[in-house]
Amino acid sequence: MNQDQMLLEVRNLKTYFFLEEGTVHAIDGADFAIGRGEALGVVGESGCGKSVTGQSILRIVPYPGRVVEGEIIFYRYNKRPDGTEVQEAVNLTALDPQGEEIRSIRGGEIAMVFQEPMTSLSPVHTMGQQIMEAIILHQGVDKAEARRRAIDMLRRVGMPQPETTVDSYPHQMSGGMRQRGMIAMALSCSPSLLIADEPTTAIDVTTQAQILQLMRDLQEDLGMAIMFITHDLGVIAEMTKRVVVMYMGRVVESASVDDLYYDPKHPYTRALLNSIPRLGQQRAERLESIKGVVPDPYNLPPGCPFHPRCNSFMPGVCDVGDPMNIEVGPGHEVRCFLYNE
Amino acid sequence: MAENTNNMLLRVNNLVKHFPIRRGAMKRVVGQVRAVDGVSFHIRERETLGLVGESGCGKTTTGRSIMRAIEPTSGEVLYTKANGETINIPDMSKEDLRALRSELQMIFQDPYSSLNPRMTLLQIVGEPLTVNKMAQGRELEDRVADLLRVVGLRPEYMRRYPHAFSGGQRQRIGIARALALNPRFIVADEPVSALDVSIQAQVLNLLQDLRAEYGLTYLFVAHDLSVVQHISDRVAVMYVGKLVEMASTNDLYYTPLHPYTEALMSAVPKPDPRAARQRIVLEGEVADPANPPSGCYFHPRCRYATEQCRVEEPELLEARPEHYVKCHRANELTLRGVSG
Ligand SMILES: Nc1ncnc2c1ncn2[C@@H]1O[C@H](COP(=O)(O)OP(=O)(O)OP(=O)(O)O)[C@@H](O)[C@H]1O
Ligand SMILES: Nc1ncnc2c1ncn2[C@@H]1O[C@H](COP(=O)(O)OP(=O)(O)OP(=O)(O)O)[C@@H](O)[C@H]1O
Ligand code: SF4
Ligand SMILES: [Mg+2]
Ligand SMILES: [Mg+2]
C-alpha cells in the first residue's frame, strides 16, 4: 500500500488478558493495514481476536486486558490553507487510554459499531439522547440540530418512524433496531474509519442491503474507510475488496476478495470456505466443520497454532517452528509452511 | 385451519402481544405497538419450523410470548407434554410453568443481556441442573464440561465470567445452558448469528443430531436464509406482527407465493465475489407496528400492489396444499424463488 494513502497500520500487535487461571493471548502478533477510504474485511474463527482488535485500536480493552506490545499508527490528513494535505501519524498505543487525544478520536474520527449493542448502549437513556450526545461532543452543534441529524440518520438506516423511535429506550426495541441505532450513532460523526463488528447479524437481508448501500455511499462520498468484521462471507464478498483472515490472534492470510474465494492458500481459509451453507443447497446433508477444537488458550501449541487441526500438517516442521509471512502473489500473503521453501 | 392433530407438539392460535406506548410526564398510554397481532401456526413433534421476517416484525416477541418470558396479551398456546397431556401455556400458574421448564427452553437472541454477569460459566450452565436437583459436585462439573465440549467451548473456561468471552463464545454458553436439561422443545432465537461458518456448522449438526436421537422440536428464528433452509422442515414468514406465508421449506424457497418472501430471497448476499445480483429493492417507508398501513400491510412497498391491496386486508389462505399465503394476488402472480 502507498504510504501516503495509509490510514491505519497495525504492527505486531499483542493484547493479553491477565486472568487468575492464566494469560489469554487474545491478539498475538497481528499485522495489517487499512488505506484511506478502503473497506477491509476481517474474518476468522469465533474467539480469534477480531473484537479485541477493534477494542485495541480504540484503546478500550477492558481490565484485566492490556496492549502489551506493538504499534497502531493512525494517519490524519490535515488540510493546509493552500489546499494541500499534510499527513500526521499518531501512535494510538502510546496514548493514555483516558486522555484527551484518544477521546477526541474515539467516536469522532474512528467510530465502532459494537457486536453486542447492549454492551455499549445505556439502558436509561433513549436512543436519541445517546446519538445526540455523540453529535454534540464531536460536531459542536446545538441540541435542536443534533436531534435533527439523529432522526435523519435513523431514517437512513431504515428505522421505522424515526421521529418516534428517537425517543425509545433500547429495551423497547428489537435486536435489529438496536443494531441500527448503533450504526446510526457511529455514522453520525462522519468518521474517517468505521470499525463495524458484526453490524448486521440481527438484521434481515432486505434491510441489510439498505444499510450496506448507505455504508458504501459514505465510503464513496466522504472517503470513509471500513474495517468490516463479519462471519457472513456473502457480505464480505459484497462490501470489501481485500480481506484478512485471523486465527488465534494473528493474521494468517491476506488477499483480494477474489483470490481469497477462488484461490485460498492457508489450510484454515480453505476449511472455512468449505463450511458455508449455501442457499439452494439441499437439506439433510451434514455441513462440513473444521475438525478438532480450538487450542487451549493458556497452553498454546508449539509451532503453527493451526497445526493440531490442519489437513496438510507436516510433522517435524509445522509443530516445531513458527511459519513466516510469505507473499504468494501480488497482494496475497499467507503464513504457512506449505509456502515457505 | 383443519389440521391433522397427530403428533402435534405445539399449536399457537391467534397469539397477540401489544406493548403500550407511553408519552409525557404522566406516562399516558397514547397507542399500542402491535408487535404480534394474531399469529397462528402449529409444530409437530420432531419438526423444525423456521421463522423469518423483517427486523422488528415480532419474531422475538412471538418466541418469548410462547415461553411466557413475557405475558401475551391474548391467544392460545397449546402444548402437548411428554405424558400426553395438552395444556394452554398462557393459563398456567408460575409454579406449573417452572416444572415445565425442563421440557421447554429458549436460546435468547441477545446472549449478553441474558447471562448473569455475576455467575461463572459453571454456575450458568449448571444452574438448571442444580435447581432441578439433577447433579451436583463432581458430577455437575462433568456434565457441564460435556455440554461445553459439544458447543465447541473448552471446559477449562468453566470458572470464567461471561464478560471474558467473545460474542460467539457467549452465544454458545446460552446454547449449552438450554440443552442442559434435555428439553423436548426449544425456541432458538438467532442461535448461530455470531458464529463463524465452521462452528455454526458444528452447532447446526448438533441440533440435528439431537433431533434425530431424542426427537427434539425447534422453533428456529434467524435472518440467515441459508441456515434456515438447511435446518427447517417448514418455514413461516412474518411481516409487521402477522404471518404472511408458511409452507414446506422447498415450496417456500423455490416457489414463494408472497411478494415479501420473493424480495427477501432476492436480497441474500452470495458468498461469491463474481456472482451477479438481481436484488429487489424495497422502496418506501418501513411499516410501523403502532400505526400499520391500510389493506395489506405490505402494499406501500409491494411492486405488485393494486387498488384492492390498498383497501382490503387479505386473509391467510391455503393457496396450495399446506402452503399458506396472505396476498390477494397469490393465485395470479409467478414469483421468483432462489435459484440453484
Ligand atoms: N474481557 C475479557 N477477559 C478475558 N478474556 C477475554 C475478554 N474479552 C475477550 N477475551 C478472550 O479473547 C479472545 C478473543 O476474543 P474476541 O472477542 O476478540 O473474539 P472474536 O474474534 O471477536 O470472536 P467472535 O467471533 O466470537 O465475536 C477470546 O478467546 C476471548 O475469550
Ligand atoms: N418491551 C417492549 N416495549 C415496547 N415495544 C417493544 C418491546 N419489545 C419489543 N417491542 C416492539 O415490538 C416490535 C417487535 O419486536 P421483536 O423484538 O419481536 O422483533 P424481531 O422480529 O425479533 O426483530 P429482530 O429481527 O430485529 O430481532 C418492535 O417494533 C419493537 O420495537
Ligand atoms: S503451517 Fe503447517 S500446520 Fe500450519 S496451516 Fe500450514 S500446513 Fe497447516
Ligand atoms: Mg467478536
Ligand atoms: Mg428478535
Dihedral sign for Cα atoms in the order B226, B227, B233, B238: negative
What strand order describes the sheet that includes A6-19? Answer: A22-35, A6-19, A65-79, A85-91
Across the interface, whether the CB atoms of A237 and B195 are under 8 A apart is answered no
Question: Is residue A206 in a domain?
Answer: no
Burial A61-71 (b: 16+ CB within 10 A, else e): beeebebeebe
If one residue of B27, B59, B244 were mutated to test the ligand 2 pocket, choosing by the most ligand atoms within 8 A of its CB, it would be B59
Q: Which atom of ligand 2 is nearest to the CA of B109?
A: 27
A88: CATH: 3.40.50.300
What gap in Å lies between CA B184 and CA A68, rounded to an integer? 48
Q: Is A202 in the pocket of ligand 2 (CB under 6 A)?
A: yes
Grid look-up 460474542 returns: B167
Across the interface, whether the CB atoms of B286 and A159 are under 8 A apart is answered yes
What gap in Å lies between CA A185 and CA A139, rounded to an integer? 13
Grid look-up 471500513 returns: A226
What gap in Å lies between CA A249 and CA B241, rounded to an integer? 43
Structure letter (DSSP) for residue B326: -
CA distance to A169, A175, A191, A279, B299, per residue, from B285 (Å):
21, 19, 27, 28, 11
Q: Kindly state the cell numbers that stand for B273.
A: 465475489
Nearest residue to A179 (alpha-carbon basis) of B299, B129, B152, B60: B60
Q: pLDDT at residue B3 above 60?
A: no
Phi, psi of A255 (to 5 degrees): -160, 170
The pLDDT profile of chain A, 341 residues, written as one tens digit per residue, is 677 899 999 999 999 999 988 899 999 999 999 999 999 999 999 999 999 999 999 999 999 999 999 999 999 998 888 888 899 999 999 999 999 999 999 989 999 999 998 888 999 999 999 999 999 988 889 999 999 999 999 999 989 889 989 999 999 999 999 999 999 999 999 999 999 999 999 999 999 999 999 999 999 988 999 999 999 999 999 999 999 999 999 999 999 999 999 999 999 999 999 888 877 765 557 888 888 877 777 778 889 999 999 999 999 999 998 999 999 999 999 999 999 86
Burial zone of A79 (CB within 10 Å; 0-12 exposed, 13-18 middle, 19+ buried):
exposed
Count the neighbouring beta carbons within 10 Å of the beta carbon of residue B26: 7
Nearest residue to A133 (alpha-carbon basis) of A103, A160, A172: A103
The domain tally of chain A equals 1
Question: Is residue A141 in a domain?
Answer: no
Nearest alpha carbon, ligand 2 atom 4: A172
- Among the residues of chain B, which ranges form H helices? 59-67, 94-100, 111-114, 121-131, 137-150, 167-179, 197-214, 225-231, 249-254, 259-266, 307-311
Question: Is residue A137 in a domain?
Answer: no
Question: Is residue A117 in a domain?
Answer: no
Structural domain of residue A299, as residue ranges? 1-97+241-341
Which DSSP helix (H) or strand (E) runs through A172?
Answer: none
Q: Are A259 and A244 contacting, i.e. CB atoms less than 8 angstroms apart?
A: no
Question: Is residue A154 in a domain?
Answer: no
Three-state secondary structure readout of B43-64? EECCCEEEEEECCCCCHHHHHH
CA distance A91 to chain B (A): 26
> How much helix, strand and coil, in percent to the nearest 5, is found in chain A?
35, 25, 40
Q: Kindly state the cell numbers that stand for B338.
A: 432462489
Query: Measured between CB atoms, does A317 come within 8 Å of chain B?
Result: no
Q: How confident is the model at residue B136 (pLDDT cuts 50, 70, 90)?
A: confident
A146 alpha carbon – ligand 2 mean position (Å): 26
A53 alpha carbon – ligand 4 mean position (Å): 9
Beta strand pairing status for B317-320 and B104-107? unpaired
Q: Are B105 and B178 contacting, i.e. CB atoms less than 8 angstroms apart?
A: yes
Nearest residue to A223 (alpha-carbon basis) of A80, A95, A38: A38
Q: Which residues of A touch B280 (CB under 8 A)?
A: 206
- pLDDT tens profile B240-252: 999 999 999 999 9
Question: Is residue A212 in a domain?
Answer: no
User: What pLDDT was estimated at residue A283?
Assistant: 55
B56 alpha carbon – ligand 2 mean position (Å): 5
- Residues near B327 by Cβ (< 8 Å), separated by ≥ 6? B244, B245, B257, B258, B259, B296, B298, B314, B333
> Peptide bond before A64: cis, by omega within 30 degrees of 0?
yes
If one residue of A174, A177, A180, A206 were mutated to test the ligand 2 pocket, choosing by the most ligand atoms within 8 A of its CB, it would be A174
Q: What is the pTM of this model?
A: 0.94
Q: Is B168 in the pocket of ligand 1 (CB under 6 A)?
A: yes
Across the interface, whether the CB atoms of A201 and B166 are under 8 A apart is answered no
Question: Is residue A115 in a domain?
Answer: no
Question: Is residue A31 in a domain?
Answer: yes
Q: pLDDT at residue B5 above 70?
A: no
What gap in Å lies between CA A300 and CA A322, rounded to an integer? 12
Nearest residue to B258 (alpha-carbon basis) of B266, A280, A208: B266
